[in-house]
Amino acid sequence: MKKEFKKFLETKRIKAHFYGKEIKLEPNSLLFPFQRDVVKWAAKKGRAAIFLDTGLGKTFIQLEWARVINEKTLIIAPLSVARQTIREAKKIDIDVKYVRHQSECDQMICITNYEMLDEFDASEFGAVVLDESSILKSLDGKTKEKLLSMFGETPYRLACTATPAPNDETEIGNHAEFLGVCTTNQMKSMFFINANRVSEIQVGDGRIVKKKQSGSNGQEWRIRNYARNSFYEWMTSWSISIKKPSDLGYSDEGYVLPKLTITPFFVDVDYKPADQLFFTGLSGIQERHTVRAATLEARIKVAADMVNNSKEQWLVWCGLTAEGDALQAAITDSHQVKGSDDIEYKIKTIQEFQDNKIRVLITKPKIAGFGMNFQNSHNMVFVGLSDSWESYYQCVRRQWRFGQKKPVNAYIVLSEVEREIYANVMQKEAIAKRMSDELIARLKTYEKDEIMNKETVKTEYKESIVKGRNFTAMLGDSCQRLPELADASIDLSVYSPPFADLFTYSASEYDLGNSKDWREFFVHYSFIIQELLRVTKPGRLTCVHTADIAAMSMKDGYMGLRDFPGAVVQAYEKEGWVFFGRAVIPKNPQSQAIRTKAHALLFATLKKDSSRSRPAINDQVLIFQKEGESAVPVTPVTNGEIDNERWIDWAGGIWSGINESDTLQYTTARAVDDEKHICPLQLGTIERCIKLYSNPGETVLTPFMGIGSEAYQALKFNRKAIGIELKESYYNIAVKNLQNIESVSAHDLFQYAENNQQAEL
């Protein structure tokens, strides 16, 4: 069983599939060693993302990838980048044709623009490359969906960008979805949790208070605490992300950035909104546009004087057409490229600037801010800013890139009333840097292993054992520790299995709860059910605490309930157990509504539309029997543990009277990274299982011990206990609980239990 389980664990690791093929062509020797290795890795993957910072050679890599894949390839790039790619291709002896229609695609590698998508038949290509693929997040929804649907069947796919997730980590999902790794919603379901966003507001007396925002705009996704390493390891199975070659252990020779100096200028202007006595701050996009237009003249003068007093080349970024026209009129030797220009003029003017034939180029970030190489110049000025950090960063990196020989000077000219825009962009830059640094730091080991074809580091796994007079506590995985128990040695098992919910209590692949879906969960669970059958005495029972599980639209595709108890019954029967009975434990709907925030249990839902209301989710204890005759009858009446009246009450199938708060003290069991509180099984439920289905002196097993509730009750009612727990922090508390209960005398036992309960209350 252990050998089969080890093989299964390998399948549980969340990694992208390989879609590549054996590569017969070697990458061009003109590429740097790290570039050649990235090409080989991406070709081996078949579908991959290249998140290399500007100047690290993404263009060479994507061209070589297309060549060695040896399939008819369409490269899709921003308008201003396509011709530059063709020029770069010639340096490594690759012939690339610029095309605008499918009928023009008469060679192996063609390149076009995102604007021309409608003119192509994706089925004609075996491979596709998205250059500057961060455009996936910024394109309008219609165009993004078109990319996903057009190339959903393309065998080989490559996405390249320096800024895969400029705003937050969930934007990685756009790339995963394009590559066919998983959908954005699936990614969020695996690694992220939806948390309320908290904002700070100033109240009338000047106090700053924190307030949870509501609605879709008041939610933010963050990586689950235990999922951080797993998320980045998963990313390395389909992407490479580096800032410099040494991030992957290569030499940085030739890849040292020059000094970058950012200088903001804030111009005093006499501005106030038409409907206000004085300016109180920018309120939204419309007012930002109004302010930018109203302060144009003052900003143009500062920028024009700066450029006119220099004889060097300048790159001038504008955001409004009026800004571009005014700048062209005010700056000598300047040429402007704007959206209304025809494509040939745009290409010709940009190339002439790159070739030092034009001293000053004026354009917008959305025209030439992505993918272009302007290392020929080292001075730029922003005549105004938007709130997009990605746009700002990409513009700066047109000059400040590996290979630039001179220090780069970037000037930002804003009106005084636009200072908060600058502060906003700088704040986003700090956040992006932290995210990037964390990404690189976490990916280093994994990516080196991926590129070098090494096995990545496995989850840490520990085992330990503590024995008392009547208990054995085993630290470790049930699938590893259950085989240590003798055949037919257990009289009864009582437990509550973890429900499928990734990275809630640990990051371990040994954790049954860490399952991507029900199929994986029940395959894992089957190993435990098999072992429980082996160790249980013939004719004896196991009691499994379960409940229906809420179905979520993101994870399950619908809102409702999933019949978890029914699935457990099927799983047990499949392994040879006999389904013997079911007890239902009623739950208070109001308490459940408060705890789970289920809309279906709210009075407001009842009043608004009772068809959206449902009963509370009741607990269920499922009882299974191992076939065969029990050598020893269980006699609770003879033992004096129950009488006929109590039997009638319990045999009714509705176990009422169980206090929901009747649990062992558990608040200290929650680790810092736990996403949810541990939920121990009620002691009253365990008591009924133990008294009904075992005799004093017999052995009770729990394969998911948690903080020791089932073992604790077994000892309390004069049984022996064996408990297995994977999570060390829970295990340590369980051991203390079991040692404590063994340390008190039988006379003081019930007083001890009462004191324990009071501590929790």
* 174: pLDDT strictly greater than 90: no
Report helix angle 709-716 to 728-743, nearest 10.
Answer: 10
* 406: pLDDT strictly greater than 70: yes
Does residue 136 contact residue 105 with C-beta atoms inside 8 Å? no
- Report the distance separating Cα 629 and Cα 665, nearest Å: 39
- Per-residue pLDDT, 272: 65
Domain ranges of the chain: 2-191+218-248, 260-430, 464-547+564-582+625-639+657-760
Task: Determine which of 27-41, 199-213, 537-551 has the lowest per-residue pLDDT on average.
Answer: 199-213
Task: Determine which of 114-118, 587-591, 622-626, 657-661 has the lowest per-residue pLDDT on average.
Answer: 587-591
Determine the average pLDDT of the residues in 185-195. 80
Contacts of 371 (CB under 8 A, 6+ apart): 77, 78, 80, 81, 84, 131, 132
- Report the distance separating Cα 559 and Cα 682, nearest Å: 28
Does residue 690 contact residue 660 with C-beta atoms inside 8 Å? no
Residue 123 binned pLDDT confidence (cut-offs 50, 70, 90) = very high
Percentage of the chain exceeding pLDDT 90: 51
- Per-residue pLDDT, 625: 98
Start-to-end C-alpha separation, the chain = 43
Contacts of 614 (CB under 8 A, 6+ apart): 561, 600, 601
- Report the distance separating Cα 28 and Cα 9, nearest Å: 39
Q: Which two tokens stand for residue 272?
A: 């106030």
pLDDT tens, position by position, 321-339: 999 999 999 999 999 999 8
At the second CATH level, the architecture of 2-191+218-248 is 3-Layer(aba) Sandwich (3.40)
Residue 453 binned pLDDT confidence (cut-offs 50, 70, 90) = low
Task: Determine which of 38-52, 125-139, 497-511, 728-742 has the lowest per-residue pLDDT on average.
Answer: 497-511
Contacts of 322 (CB under 8 A, 6+ apart): 293, 296
* 450: pLDDT strictly greater than 90: no
Percentage of the chain exceeding pLDDT 70: 86
Residue 111 binned pLDDT confidence (cut-offs 50, 70, 90) = very high
Contacts of 431 (CB under 8 A, 6+ apart): none
- Report the distance separating Cα 187 and Cα 183, nearest Å: 6
- Report the distance separating Cα 256 and Cα 244, nearest Å: 8
Burial of 756 (0-12, 13-18, 19+ CB in 10 A): middle
DSSP string over 261-322: EEEEEEE------TTSSS-----SHHHHHHHHHHTHHHHHHHHHHHHHT--S-EEEE-SSHH
pLDDT tens, position by position, 217-250: 345 777 888 778 788 888 888 988 888 888 888 8
- Report the distance separating Cα 307 and Cα 396, nearest Å: 17
Determine the average pLDDT of the residues in 352-356. 94
- Per-residue pLDDT, 502: 60
Q: Which amino acid is at 651?
A: A
* 216: pLDDT strictly greater than 70: no
CB atoms within 10 A of CB 9: 18
At the second CATH level, the architecture of 464-547+564-582+625-639+657-760 is 3-Layer(aba) Sandwich (3.40)
Query: Among candidates 680, 548, 540, which has minimal Cα distance to 623?
Result: 540
Burial of 106 (0-12, 13-18, 19+ CB in 10 A): exposed
Burial of 593 (0-12, 13-18, 19+ CB in 10 A): middle
Q: Which has more pLDDT, 677 or 229?
A: 229
Residue 237, classed as helix, strand or coil, is coil
- Per-residue pLDDT, 166: 60
Q: What does each C-alpha distance from 444 to 3, 388, 434 come to in angstroms?
A: 31, 28, 15
Q: What does each C-alpha distance from 213 to 168, 182, 199, 284, 554 come to in angstroms?
A: 18, 30, 7, 18, 21
- Per-residue pLDDT, 217: 38
- Report the distance separating Cα 123 and Cα 114, nearest Å: 17
Question: What is the C-alpha R_g of the chain?
Answer: 33
pLDDT tens, position by position, 464-489: 999 999 999 999 999 999 999 999 99
Per the prediction, the chain carries an average pLDDT of 85
- Report the distance separating Cα 708 and Cα 723, nearest Å: 7
Per DSSP bridges, beta strands 198-202 and 208-212 are antiparallel
* 35: pLDDT strictly greater than 60: yes
- Per-residue pLDDT, 210: 42
- Report the distance separating Cα 156 and Cα 128, nearest Å: 7
- Report the distance separating Cα 529 and Cα 536, nearest Å: 11
- Per-residue pLDDT, 454: 60
Ramachandran angles phi, psi of 456, nearest 5°: -75, 165
- Secondary structure string (H, E, C) spanning 473-523: EEECCHHHHHHHCCCCCEEEEEECCCCCCCCCCCCCCCCCCCCCCHHHHHH
Does residue 226 contact residue 673 with C-beta atoms inside 8 Å? yes
Task: Determine which of 4-13, 299-308, 697-706 has the lowest per-residue pLDDT on average.
Answer: 4-13
Does residue 538 contact residue 487 with C-beta atoms inside 8 Å? no
* 689: pLDDT strictly greater than 60: yes
Q: What angle do CA 327, 329, 333 make, to 5 degrees?
A: 90
Residue 717, classed as helix, strand or coil, is coil
- Per-residue pLDDT, 703: 97
- Report the distance separating Cα 413 and Cα 424, nearest Å: 15
Contacts of 629 (CB under 8 A, 6+ apart): 538, 539
* 752: pLDDT strictly greater than 70: no
Q: Which two tokens stand for residue 266?
A: 């804030």
- Per-residue pLDDT, 222: 79
- Per-residue pLDDT, 204: 37
Burial of 637 (0-12, 13-18, 19+ CB in 10 A): exposed
Determine the average pLDDT of the residues in 543-547. 96
DSSP string over 647-682: HHHHHTSB-----TT-S---GGG--TT-SS---PPP
Q: Which has more pLDDT, 635 or 241?
A: 635
**Chain mean position to CA 299:** 42
Determine the average pLDDT of the residues in 379-391. 92
Fold of 260-430: Rossmann fold (3.40.50)
Kindly state the helix (H) or strand (E) to which residue 415 belongs, with its residue range. Answer: strand 408-415
- Report the distance separating Cα 363 and Cα 324, nearest Å: 7
- Is it true that 2-191+218-248 and 464-547+564-582+625-639+657-760 share their CATH fold? yes
Q: Which two tokens stand for residue 695?
A: 């005799």
CB atoms within 10 A of CB 672: 6
- Per-residue pLDDT, 3: 77
Kindly state the helix (H) or strand (E) to which residue 174 belongs, with its residue range. Answer: helix 172-179
- Report the distance separating Cα 512 and Cα 272, nearest Å: 62
Report helix angle 58-69 to 33-45, nearest 10.
Answer: 50
- Per-residue pLDDT, 214: 39
- Per-residue pLDDT, 360: 97
Q: Which two tokens stand for residue 686?
A: 């365990």
